[in-house]
Copies of this chain bind each other. A is one copy, B any other.
Amino acid sequence: MEPYLLTATECLEKFKDGSLTVEAYARSLLSRIEQRDPVVKAWTYLDPAYVIEQAKALDQIPPAKRGPLHGVSIAVKDVMYTKRMPTQHNSPIYKGDSPEVDAGSVTVLKNAGALLIGKSATTEFASAKNGPPTCNPHDPTRTPGGSSSGSGAAVGDFQAAIGLGTQTGGSTIRPGSFNGVYSMKLTWNSVTREGHKIYSLTLDTTGFFARSVDDLNLLADVFALADDETSKQEAFNIKGAKFALLRTMAWPDAGPGTIAAMDTAAEILRQHGAEVESIELPPEFDNMPEWHRIIMDTEARPVFLPEYRIAKEKLQPFIVGHVENSTNISRAAQLAAFDGIAALRPLIDKIAGSYAAIITPSVVDEAPTGQAHTGSPAFNIIWTALHTPVVNVPGFKGENGMPIGLSLVAPRFHDRHLLTVCKAVGTIFEAEGGWKRQCHI
């Protein structure tokens, strides 16, 4: 098997038993990237010499001193600071800019022995609009989603084992679904956002991309994620577990692929002995989409003031609109949204806490065609605002054979519990959901 096909967990085993060197792994990835980059265009910066240099240095580390991510390949979203690699935010203002500092998340990954492949493409400042030229590896005429377009596509296309992303609307879960990978939006503020570009302090959340739940657990270890209860994690059985099936207020947007995925998921879970209960959110959640929009727009106002002042003409009009408050959102409305969502967080924790997980759509449907529009975050925004952990679990497919995933949601700071559930659920969704992972050439 070509080393680039390995998940993080798989390549760690081979580094450990001596059957693979990091350098050989790196060269395999670089040749995969060389082959596929003209089609997928996942990277905004990639220096093969720097990758090999890291790999050689990692191979020199004696086995006893190797970190838990020793040699694991990582794509870093280009809104996160990295030493030795520019950070450009897909903005002409930051073209070629290279602050010599690592984001906190990057420091943790490097310290764990990660192999940084390069900077992955993003929409401008990780916004909801203006996709980069990145293409979906499963069909290059389609979007890989956004804003973490490059991380989703790189992991989906076997160009990196792990991707680092962020989510303010649906920027981690949506590309996870579109590219057929696992993606996880963590509990808000459970991983440092130091050195990630800010869009909205209340909404911005760190995210991970991987091709297995084991890999997500590896990252959860490295970032010291810890639930209060750890007993549940050891013994989870789908048989006898209770799941909530939640369509949410965004359901009218759902296309045939997502509708079918929700039905199939319920059927598979029931066949495996789980109880699946359809639930609805209480009416007080109806304002969530509007409140999310208000928070995103108003919190972006101070954040982009520096760029507005130095180079307004180089910003997209909607970002200029944030700073100028072009939609005339009052402070009173901003606070009503901020406080309104805050009051709902303990409520959703209680609802989600009654189930192994809530199962809800990740996307309206399979990835749409074109690159400019990265798809709708309609099914993601409420979870971002509610701060709950969410994992996109792949396994289903749309009418054109493109991957579709579903979101599993748990209460805040139940990230480890959620991963345990996703490990079991992912196994059966991937086996029986109808979509099979392929490595395209």
Interface centre among A112, A191, A227, A305 (most CB of B within 10 A): A305
Binds B, one of A21-29, A173-181, A238-246, A338-346: A338-346
Binds B, one of A8-16, A103-111, A141-149, A154-162: A103-111
- Check if A284 is an interface residue, CB within 8 A of chain B: no
Tell me if A302 and B111 are in contact (CB < 8 A): no
* Residues of A176-192 whose CB lies within 8 A of B: 189-192
Tell me if B305 and A192 are in contact (CB < 8 A): yes
Q: Which residues of B contact A323 (CB under 8 A)?
A: 224
| Bound Cα distance from A192 to B197, whole angstroms | 11
Please give me the residue from chain B that is nearest to A304 by CB atom.
Answer: B192
- Check if A335 is an interface residue, CB within 8 A of chain B: yes
- Check if A2 is an interface residue, CB within 8 A of chain B: no
Select A299's contact among B111, B112, B189, beta carbons within 8 Å. Answer: B189
Min CB distance A191 to B, Å, is 6
| Bound Cα distance from A63 to B299, whole angstroms | 34
Please give me the residue from chain B that is nearest to A301 by CB atom.
Answer: B224
- Check if A412 is an interface residue, CB within 8 A of chain B: yes
| Bound Cα distance from A323 to B201, whole angstroms | 21
- Check if A310 is an interface residue, CB within 8 A of chain B: yes
Min CB distance A233 to B, Å, is 14
Q: Which residues of B contact A198 (CB under 8 A)?
A: 104, 192-194
- Check if A256 is an interface residue, CB within 8 A of chain B: no
| Bound Cα distance from A332 to B99, whole angstroms | 38
| Bound Cα distance from A301 to B226, whole angstroms | 11
Min CB distance A214 to B, Å, is 22
4 extra A-B contacts, CB within 8 A, seeds A189-B201, A224-B323 = A111-B310, A194-B303, A227-B331, A339-B345
5 contacts between A and B (CB under 8 A): A101-B101, A112-B309, A189-B202, A331-B413, A334-B413
Q: Would you list the 7 A-B pairs with minimal beta carbon distance, nearest first?
A: A99-B101, A342-B342, A331-B413, A107-B306, A104-B306, A111-B309, A228-B331
